[in-house]
Amino acid sequence: MSLTSDERQKLQDIARELRVTVIDVMAWSGGAHVGGSLSIIDILTILYFKYLNIRPEEPLWEDRDRFILSKGHAAAGYIPVLAKRGYFDPETLKSFNHFGSPFAMHPDCNKVTGCDASAGSLGHGLSMAVGLGLGARCLGAGWKTVCLMGDGECCEGSVWEAAMAAPRFKLSNIVGIVDRNKLMIDGFTEDVMPLEPFADKWRAFNWDVVEVDGHDFDELDAALEKAWAATDKPVLIYADTIKGKGVDFMENNVVWHYASADSVICEKAKASIMKG
Q: Which CATH superfamily is domain 5-275 in?
A: Thiamin diphosphate (ThDP)-binding fold, Pyr/PP domains (3.40.50.970)
Helix (H) or strand (E) holding 268: helix 263-275
Band of the pLDDT at 197, cuts 50, 70, 90? very high
Question: How much is the pLDDT for 164?
Answer: 98
- Which of 178, 162, 150, 147 has the alpha carbon at shortest distance from 68? 147
Which pLDDT belongs to residue 70? 98
Report how far apart the first and last C-alpha atoms of the chain are (Å, whole number). Answer: 27
- The answer on pLDDT for 73 being more than 80 is yes
Q: What is the mean pLDDT of residues 65-70?
A: 98
pLDDT > 80? residue 44: yes
Instruction: Work out the pLDDT band at 97, boundaries 50, 70, 90.
Output: very high
Helix (H) or strand (E) run with residue 208 in it: strand 208-213
Band the pLDDT of 276: cuts 50, 70, 90: confident
The pLDDT of residue 1 is 73
| pLDDT (0 to 100) of residue 177 | 99
**pLDDT of res. 232:** 95
Phi, psi of 120 (to 5 degrees): 155, -50
- 197 upstream amide cis, omega within 30 of 0: yes
Tens digits of residue pLDDT in 208-246: 999 999 999 999 999 999 999 999 999 999 999 999 999
Does pLDDT of 120 surpass 90?
Answer: no
Spell out the domain ranges in the chain: 5-275
